Structures are given as structure tokens and as C-alpha cells.
Amino acid sequence: MSSHKQHRLNLDRIEESLHSVQSDFERVNEKLLMRREPLTNQIIGNLLEGYAYVDQLLEDGVEVFSPSGLDHILELNHIVLCGSNDSVRLEYGSHLLETRHRFADGIGGIADWYERKRHKSATRRAAGVYVLGVSQPQLFLEGNHRTGALVASYILVQEGLPPFVLTPKNAVAYFNPSTLIKYRDKQKFFDRQYYLKKYRRVLQDFFEETLDKRFRRSLRLDKDVATRG
């Protein structure tokens, strides 16, 4: 019998951390380049649903950057905005439909970039996908930062690293570059070749320096188990 590890998310620890940021948000906000809306219980609840969805994708071995997997990225955006409640989604149906059209226009370029960078480190790929989704034109109408954080977490944990999770300690170092990324345009040559590459390196370094093993759990899976008679 042989075994290997499957890396997953520690959802309880993630929830604790998000609520810690919520409690400390006024202090965090004072240090930001641009003040942000507080983390409401609804935002946290939807984010936790998103992390749980990422965890399920990892358990199921889904490759979200395959042609058949890309819709899972769209679903993550729906979750951070509306949760999984059908009545809420029905209420925002026209918004979600418009989001789907925008996603269809933008995801191809990001998926192509990812395919070209598959040989690069997980932190580089996670940072690159985040920058491409958050910069202009943004991948989604709303929720680009939260969805980007979840997709980055999927990439990181798939490679055995911890997910990216907001903490009181890392929040300022995450929010400030994210604000700058949002106002750069990947379709403009100078932005793409200078600023976005610069922010990708900043974010990659940020991931490498701040990822926390507390937010990851490893499951040992047995393989080649003998069939019982």
C-alpha cells in the first residue's frame, strides 16, 4: 500500500481570521491608500462559501484552467456576490447574466496566459492571474478582488502551499497593491509591460512571505488498497 497527501483548506481557521480582520478593520482602513467598506457578516459568509467551494474543487481534483473547468471561476464570483442562495441569485439575475458575458470576453486571455506559465511557480501563477483579473478591463463587474483571492488560493493549495487568507497582519500589504492594480489597464502597453509586471512581482513576494500553514490541512490518502473479499 502506498499513500500520498492531498492538500486542502482549514475552513475553521480561515473563518477565525476573517472575523479578526473584521474586528480590526477600522485600524486597517486608516492605513489604506483608499478606504474600503467594512467586512460585513454577509461578505464574510459569502467568502467562506467561496473557500468551501475551492476546497471541494481540490477534493474533486478539478482543473479550473481547463476548457471544461473555467465556469468554476465564474461560479466563485457568483458565490462572493450572492452566495449560493437561489432566491438571491434570481433577484440579481440580470446582473449575473451581464457578468457572464463579461467573463466570456475576458477569461480566454487569462487562461492562455496561465497555460503559457504552467511551468512557473505557483506563487507566480497565482499573482499573475490575480493581476490580470483585477486590472482593467476587469474580469467581472464586481467582486474581482475577492474572486481573485479565491482563484489564487486554488492555485496555491493545488501545489501544496497554504491558501491566501486575509489576516490583521497582512491586510494593508494586500489591499494597497490591489488598489493600484485596479487602476492599470492590461491593454495599454506601458501598463502591461511595466506596472502590471511590477505589481505581479510585489504580489508574488507577498504570497511567498505571508502564506500561513495554519490555513492548510493535509490529508494522507491511501492508494493501491487491496480489494476486500
Cα separation, 148 vs 189, whole angstroms: 23
Q: Give the chain's domains with CATH numbers.
A: 2-223 (1.10.3290)
Mean pLDDT by 10 residues, the chain (229 residues): 75 98 97 95 98 98 97 98 94 96 98 98 98 98 98 97 98 98 97 97 98 91 47
> Model-level pTM?
0.94
Give the pLDDT of residue 131: 98
* Overall size of the chain counted in residues: 229
**77, 95 in Cβ contact below 8 A?**
no
Place of cell 490583521: 168
pLDDT at residue 173, rounded to an integer:
98
Query: Helix, strand, or coil here: 67?
Result: coil
**How many angstroms separate the CA atoms of 113 and 125, rounded?**
9
